[in-house]
Structure 1
Amino acid sequence: MTLIANHPERNIIRAQLKQNIVLKELRDSEMAALEPYLTVTNHQKGDLLLNQGVYDMQQYFILDGILKRQVTNHEAKEMILRFSSERDIETSYAAWCLKTPTPYSIVCMTKARVASMPLTQWVNFLQSHSVVKQAFEYEVMNLMSAIMAHTITLHLLDAPGRVHRFMRKFPDLFERLPKKELAYYLNLSPETLSRLKHQGKI
């Protein structure tokens, strides 16, 4: 973990943070006040950022790469809830507010670089920055709504429909995601996704 001020690519990282869906609301002076709390880490594919069932939570700002949010049941069966990439956030803010353990894990789908800070410090920062707090809470609600819509879609749409919906909503991610992971997200077998693509139905 490296503080931004000490990072050899700090200028690039600062530019990336200014493009983040939540942090873009910050003025330069506010970003400077936040920066000392942020650490930058590089991760490999498969690295676990947040483990399901813990109370030690972080706020993540994605600089490079793709993350997935997944939940695992008692039989170790996994379900992918969402993917996130550059300019996105990952958080367990709702669990923090409810004082419950994290209901899901956050895993690196690809090589990734993230800036993170303890969620408690992030919440404290928000208390004195109402514009950013509003943007952040809106994004949290937006993510929860998108996950609910995806879950409903799995029941209402057939296989081609699920794939087309994903391509329409996330065209930039479709080619970047490992097809096995995308198939699991869409509740398809990798073979079915491959066959749809081969038949020209997607």
Structure 2
Amino acid sequence: MIQKLLNSGLHWREKEFKRNEFLKMAGSTDTDIYFIENGSIRIYMMDENEERIIRFGYTGNIIVSLDSFLSGKPSGFYMQAIKKTTVRVAPQKDFYQFIQSGEENLKFWNRILEDLVLQQIEREKDLLINSPRERFNRVLKRSPKLFQEVPNKYIANYLRMSPETLSRLKKS
């Protein structure tokens, strides 16, 4: 279905981001939708000068600053390339025209939203679990590709543990 979206006639523009370059800064409004052709992105917020990673996107994923996309208001999230990343970008207006042009397209968007809600529920569960080992195992089972695409220091932040704890868990 993602291939259908990419070949749908939507006006996708290709954009390349260098390592550590921002797709979006906190406090800005971003109503674009992104398809990651290659590379990886982290989405995070700042909490008292500390980064809190909430989500990753990597090759083959669709990402969006969902709060800003849906509301048209500024978001508190940063979107940053972890490594050199190439994305296809489509504006919200064009995307909405696409999803309104057919029932299958609307179902596709609903599946994306349902997946995001389910991912958010899993993320909330992860944050409520005290055991670092259990958090690690849950994420490894759910997203094994994450450990190939994203450096350990970011995964450790996402899992709310030190890089050393993550390293020990990966070895055991």
TM beyond 0.5: yes
Q: Which amino acid aligns with 2:21?
A: D
Q: Which residue of 2 aligns with 1:4?
A: none
- In the aligned structure 2, how far is the partner of 1:103 from the partner of 1:121? 24
Identity %: 26
Partner residue, 2:33: 59
How far off is 1:197 after superposition? 3.1
**Is 1:124 aligned to 2:97, yes or no?**
yes
Question: Structure 1 residue 92 and structure 2 residue 65: aligned?
Answer: yes
Which amino acid is 2:151 matched to?
Answer: P
* Deviations 1:41-79, CA, capped at 9 Å, x for gaps: 122221111222222421101100111121223x23221
Counterpart in 1 of 2:7? 31
Alignment match, 2:80 = 107
1:137 to 84, 101, 110: 110
More helix by percentage? 1
Give runs of aligned pairs for residues 191-202 of structure 1, distance below 5 A: 191-198=164-171, 200=172
RMSD: 2.1
Mark the runs of 5 or more structure 2 residues left unpaired by the alignment: none
Moved runs in structure 1, 4+ residues, more than 4 A? none
Question: For 1:70, which of 16, 37, 44 is the aligned residue?
Answer: 44
- Partner SS, residue 171 of structure 1: coil
Task: Say how many residue pairs are matched.
Answer: 172
- In structure 1, the residue corresponding to 2:170 is in which secondary structure? helix
Partner of 1:7: none
What is aligned with 2:17? 43
The one of 155, 171, 183 aligned to 2:128: 155
1: CA distance between counterparts of 2:151 and 2:37? 19
Deviations 1:80-137 (A, max 9, x none): 1111112210113443333332242211122211000222222222221331232123
Closer, same or farther: CA 140–164 of 1 in aligned 2, 3 Å: same
Q: TM-score, normalised by structure 1?
A: 0.75
Q: Which amino acid aligns with 1:195?
A: R
2:147 is aligned with 1:174: yes
Structure number with the bigger relative contact order (C-alpha 8 A, sep ≥ 6) is 2
Specify every segment of 5 or more residues in structure 1 that has no aligned partner in the other structure, as ranges. 1-21
CA distance in 2: counterparts of 1:59 and 1:134, whole angstroms: 17
* Aligned mates of 1:131, 1:51 — CA distance in 2: 33
